[in-house]
Structure 1
Amino acid sequence: MPETASPRLFPLFADLRGRAVLVVGGGAVAARKVEALAGTGARIRVGAPALEPALAAAAARGELEHLPGRFVPSWLDGTWLAIAATDDAAVNRAVAEAGEARGVWVNVVDDAALARVQLPARVERGPLQIAISSGGGAPMLARLVRERLETQFDESFGALAGLLARHRRTIVARWPDTAARRRAFERLLAGPLQGLLRRRRHIEAERMLERELAPAGDAAPARGSVALVGAGPGDAGLLTLRALRLLGEADVILHDRLVSSEVLQLARRDAERIEVGKQAGRHAVPQEAINALLVEHAAAGRRVVRLKGGDPFVFGRGGEELEALRAAGIDYEVVPGITAAAACAAYAGIPLTHRDHAQSVRLVTAHAKEGPDTLDWAALAQERQTLAFYMGVARLEVVQAQLIAHGRPPETPFALVENGTRADQRVVQGRLTDLSHLARHHAVQSPALLIVGEVAALAGALHWFGAPPLGASDVPLANAA
């Protein structure tokens, strides 16, 4: 092995209950090490001429013993583990050498060559711990890995570990064969148990596990669940962590047409994908059929993700789908997504509210069911508010005419954001009186969000994503002043 290579360390979790652990140093670094030792049951001793405030307070409460003064080898007597955490290299070396002579494990902070034991970067979820080490050669890499794991393992893993630990004897008795136990665990962890824990429904999770542990003849048939997940407007980087986890666990994904391929690529590779998207003038799958598919797959014991563009509860018919699931007795959860108004406006450089221009925002769907127009145009035409119209490409002339007819000034700024947050995003900017003309000239297509209000004028100055907005100067207008 080259001398520069880090050693291959043997990973080990130590039971420190009742054992003496010495921390040499009284500053902030030593305080962090003492904090890491808290809860282990160790008898903590801190040796230093003086202690920083948090350590001094802990000593006053009797949570640790303070050994005042500079390090002397006798501090190691009866010690099982020592940590040298001073800013004095000579003192740290003295601790390491004294520990080597006494057969005491010593960790030296930021000095892998002197240390005989290293303290790994850790991810803690209750009784579940994940330790990461680079062998001391690249501590920043270990921290980076820890940060990534922190996002993948939420608090439900701690609750799950505690739940399984409480039932360990019953689990072993139920499946005494190791291979059968492993298969049972894979089936159990693939089901809705962890989803219940994520939603803090601990009693239901306990009962579910107890049903699984019942004798085979008493076990209830497996039943799946549905998660309504907001996919955002297209940029996969805008997915929430919970959405990403659920996509990795799904057996079946029912997705809208507007869900981007980048988002779908993050899903579990072998998940069944079913497009149920709707667009103006072409309803590929009626809503009633979508509801039936959700119930059918969940009732068959599958984990279903209903993946919706934007947010499930903002013009996403999420409420209708939950009503169908509840009526069928299907377990469900909802994961919000970034709705198009927030995301498209942000990527176009348009603040939806602004102290100088708009004190309120209205989210409006320009696509209504068959029947008369029920929008309150007089209220929508009021100034000093921002209007965000969803699904409005086919009705731009109506929106323009109604707003002007009800008193919104014709020179009111607007912005049309097509394919917002995606690589092919386009923004068309102008005056309300030119809205339909500009949209036709630039052949704006769905999906596009219409923003009306004084804040829309800021798109030209504040744009940061993609090309600058297209505007009136890009085309001769039929009704330009």
Structure 2
Amino acid sequence: MIVCIGAGPGDTGYLTQRGAQLIREADVVAGFDAVLDVVRALIPAGATVINMNYRDQVAQLDNVALEHHAGKRCAVVLMGDIHFSGFQYLERVERACGHPVESLPGISSAQILASRARVCFDETTFITFHRRGDLAPFKRHLVHVLQDGRNAIVIPCPWDEARSFMPWHIAAYLMEQGISPDHPTEVWENLTRGEAEWHGTLAECAGHRCSDMSIMLVRTLAPMASQIEPAP
């Protein structure tokens, strides 16, 4: 068995019961250090723990694959929901194993933000820049989302300074593309712990600095009216 598990946005209270069960039953538990710290209490005492980071993830996933092919029960744990911002990692796991692997969705920070900010996903588009490769198509998509009158939930790119696309970069880019500076904008940090919650305009966001553990909401200028039946 090998399964990729979405562990929620940094709090075991948002880990699914099935995910917790699979971690408790695993012979091998693998993941980035910060993610393993979240689920540490669930890892069996006799399990092999394979820690990794951005630089050594490919080599360490090869080690996970060796354990899997040796018949071990392997759980690879990712933050959030695999299919929201961890899909490239899932691809790396499958490349190491040589075949498709099972994945178990988790709760993402985007879902938590939608709940806290009271926005509907039918009227909102989620975009993540927390990925490797060319960000240009995703940047253009974000512009089109706002031009279409939808809300945008955005996970920034926090890597090296040359590549970073943090909320202040995103705000500046959007205004350069002709998006109104008046869009109501929110930045939430360490969402499940409620450490920081910033509200302002897109123009003000261009001057707001925040940590890597951030998620951004840019609201439409023309919210859709409710379509439920009129009150009696």
Do both proteins adopt the same fold according to a TM-score greater than 0.5, normalized to the shorter chain? yes
Partners of 2:97 and 2:131 in 1: how far apart? 26
Match of 1:295 in 2: 65
Partners of 2:110 and 2:39 in 1: how far apart? 19
Partners of 1:323 and 1:261 in 2: how far apart? 24
Q: Tell me by how many angstroms 1:326 deviates.
A: 5.9
Alignment of 1:265-276 (within 5 A): 265-276=41-52
Counterpart of 2:69, as a letter, is A
Does residue 74 of structure 2 align to residue 304 of structure 1? yes
Uncovered stretches (5+) of structure 1, i.e. residues with no partner: 1-224, 278-282, 458-481
Residues 244, 266 of structure 1: 8 Å contact kept? yes
Show CA shifts across 1:185-240 (max 9, x none).
xxxxxxxxxxxxxxxxxxxxxxxxxxxxxxxxxxxxxxxx2110000001211111
Partners of 1:293 and 1:239 in 2: how far apart? 25
Show CA shifts across 1:55-89 (max 9, x none).
xxxxxxxxxxxxxxxxxxxxxxxxxxxxxxxxxxx
The 3 A distance-change label for structure 1 pair 383 and 405 is farther
Alignment of 1:75-224 (within 5 A): none
Partners of 2:124 and 2:33 in 1: how far apart? 27
Q: Decide which of 138, 146, 154 is 1:389's aligned counterpart.
A: 154
Partners of 2:122 and 2:178 in 1: how far apart? 19
TM-score (norm 2): 0.79
Match of 1:351 in 2: 118
Residues 146, 152 of structure 2: 8 Å contact kept? no
The 3 A distance-change label for structure 1 pair 364 and 258 is farther
The 3 A distance-change label for structure 1 pair 359 and 249 is closer
Does residue 7 of structure 2 align to residue 227 of structure 1? no
Uncovered stretches (5+) of structure 2, i.e. residues with no partner: 159-163, 224-232
Match of 1:406 in 2: 177
Q: Taking every aligned residue pair, what percent have the same amino acid on both sides?
A: 23
Q: Tell me by how many angstroms 1:344 deviates.
A: 3.4
Q: Tell me by how many angstroms 1:339 deviates.
A: 1.3
Match of 1:250 in 2: 26
Match of 2:226 in 1: none
Match of 1:336 in 2: 105
Counterpart of 1:236, as a letter, is T
State the secondary structure of the residue aligned to 1:343: helix
Does residue 35 of structure 2 align to residue 259 of structure 1? yes
The 3 A distance-change label for structure 1 pair 359 and 409 is farther
State the secondary structure of the residue aligned to 2:188: strand
Partners of 2:157 and 2:29 in 1: how far apart? 27
State the secondary structure of the residue aligned to 2:147: coil
Counterpart of 2:190, as a letter, is N
Residues 312, 336 of structure 1: 8 Å contact kept? yes
Match of 1:85 in 2: none
Q: Tell me by how many angstroms 1:445 deviates.
A: 1.0
Residues 255, 306 of structure 1: 8 Å contact kept? yes
Match of 1:128 in 2: none
Partners of 2:34 and 2:118 in 1: how far apart? 24
TM-score (norm 1): 0.41
The 3 A distance-change label for structure 1 pair 289 and 426 is same
Match of 2:132 in 1: 369
Residues 254, 274 of structure 1: 8 Å contact kept? yes
Q: Decide which of 10, 13, 19 is 1:237's aligned counterpart.
A: 13
State the secondary structure of the residue aligned to 2:77: strand
The 3 A distance-change label for structure 1 pair 391 and 228 is same
Match of 1:314 in 2: 84
